[in-house]
Amino acid sequence: MRNALRIAILAHSTNPRGGVVHALELGDALTRLGHQATVHAPDAKGTGFFRTTLCGTSCVPASPVGRDVTAMVETRIVDYIRYFERPQNRRFDVWHAQDGISGNALATLKARGLIPAFARTVHHVDMFDDARLAALQTRSIAAADCRFAVSRMWRDWLVREFGREAHLVGNGVDTNRFSSVPDATDAELRARLNLPDGASMFLAVGGVEERKNTIRLLAAFRILHAQHPSSCLVIAGGASLLDHNRYQARFALALAQSGLPDGAVICTGTLPQDLMPALYRAAHALVFPSTKEGFGLVVLEAMASGVPVVTSCMAPFTEYLGDGDALWCNPFEPASISAAMAASFDVRRRECLITGGRGIAARHDWTATAHAHIKIYDKLREPIHA
């Protein structure tokens, strides 16, 4: 391909988190367009990325670390720098960080003259009590030569808080991977989770975290379960580099005191990626009352799978979903979340949500996201100022 680019995309881990999903899908889309994209990430477990890819991948050796998050972040930055100090690992035209860890590594490499420039995608911004972590997050954004944002909310935040423009690139969903068509994995998934026959399964994806609003979701499910005792709540995922132990302990206590019967709430942890489409298909509805998201990729995955979505009536969800596209809730009120969940039993409304959701998913194509990046990548071959 004429003018094909060699693109290094850097993620924070090999786990199935939103930023990593975005990195791999972007890499695959760029590869289909004829570019040479390679997604990198520190591989702490030595198991590689959570799914196979069309694009290239490179697992960066990860040094042993303890439980301290700040020390882990600083160590992973050094791991990245050490890896790219070797000239044979720097044969790329474009450098693109998806997070604060890789953004700091590229900022150091640029300062040392080892790379000319780099881009940074801001999926969302965390609030850290640790001053070192906060400073590293700021540096990863401010030192970038250009920035990408997946939603208008975070694009506007960058202008307001940093005085820096960002290019809006959006997100997508693979409608071949996520669909309502059943396959052999459906039975495998139900057997693995021991899902009760006839139960209406409400699905939450992202694990037990404060910004996923899991404790309020549990309170909402208690209300719903009293009305629909055959329902169950499945909380899937949760692989994270951050420390959520305190919140998870609060959730465990709330669950123990909930009075819900055994098996009504199932926490799966991280599941194999080939079972995720079946997990969506098994769901009565996706419940995603998150209080902070970059975009909310799981919303598109659920819609592509023919599943109604309960989600927070706030940005970024309101940027790409209209009034009738989801069952909206106030994420800070368990009664509101429960009412939205209960509305999913309305047959006529379900049919409208499922049909509309498939149309929304079809409009979010990763190829369009890749094209939005390519317009900017060409400028990164030489240092720019933004």
Q: Is the dihedral of CA 217, 220, 225, 231 positive or negative?
A: negative
Query: Mean pLDDT score of the chain, rounded to an integer?
Result: 94
Which of 124-128, 227-231, 381-385 is predicted most confidently?
Answer: 227-231
Task: Find the helix packing angle between 297-304 and 18-32, rounded to 10°.
Answer: 70
pTM: 0.94
Which whole number is the average pLDDT over 15-27? 95
Which whole number is the average pLDDT over 218-242? 93
* CATH number for the domain running over 184-363: 3.40.50.2000
| Cα end-to-end span (Å), the chain | 29
- In sequence order, the β-bridge partners of residue 231 are 200
**Does pLDDT of 241 surpass 90?**
no
Name the token pair of 290: 């998150």
Reduced to 3 states (helix: H, G, I; strand: E, B; else coil), residue 175 is coil
Between 378 and 254, name the one with better pLDDT. Answer: 254
pLDDT value for 340: 98
Distance (Å, whole) CA 107 – CA 126:
19
Name the token pair of 120: 């940074």
Rg value, the chain, Cα: 21
Provide, rounded to the nearest whole percent, the portion of the chain with pLDDT above 70: 98
pLDDT value for 380: 86
Instruction: Report the run of H or E that residue 77 belongs to, with start and end.
Output: helix 69-84
Distance (Å, whole) CA 99 – CA 122:
7
Amino acid type, 95: W
Per residue in 118-137, pLDDT (tens digit) is 999 999 998 888 999 999 99
Q: How many Cα atoms within 13 Å fall on the side-chain side of residue 277?
A: 16
DSSP state of 195: P
pLDDT value for 239: 76
pLDDT band for position 242 (50/70/90)? Answer: confident
Q: Which of 22, 14, 222 is nearest to 121 (CA)?
A: 22
Which residues does 58 contact at the CB level (< 8 Å), separation at least 6? Answer: 38, 39, 40, 89
Distance (Å, whole) CA 220 – CA 255:
12
**Does pLDDT of 253 surpass 80?**
yes
pLDDT value for 66: 87
Q: How many Cα atoms within 13 Å fall on the side-chain side of residue 62?
A: 24
Distance (Å, whole) CA 312 – CA 206:
15
**Does pLDDT of 383 surpass 60?**
no
Domain map (residue ranges) of the chain: 6-172+366-381, 184-363
The reply to whether domains 6-172+366-381 and 184-363 share a CATH topology is yes
Backbone dihedral angles phi then psi of residue 195, each to the nearest 5 degrees: -70, 130
pLDDT value for 2: 54
Which whole number is the average pLDDT over 173-198? 92
Q: Which of 264, 95, 281, 267 is nearest to 187 (CA)?
A: 281
Distance (Å, whole) CA 79 – CA 72:
10
Distance (Å, whole) CA 366 – CA 22:
9
pLDDT value for 386: 42
pLDDT band for position 382 (50/70/90)? Answer: low
CATH superfamily of 6-172+366-381: Glycogen Phosphorylase B; (3.40.50.2000)
pLDDT value for 240: 77
Q: Which of 213, 169, 165 is nearest to 331 (CA)?
A: 213
Distance (Å, whole) CA 326 – CA 322:
8
Per residue in 359-370, pLDDT (tens digit) is 999 999 999 999
Residue 101 has a CB neighbour count (10 Å cut-off) of 27
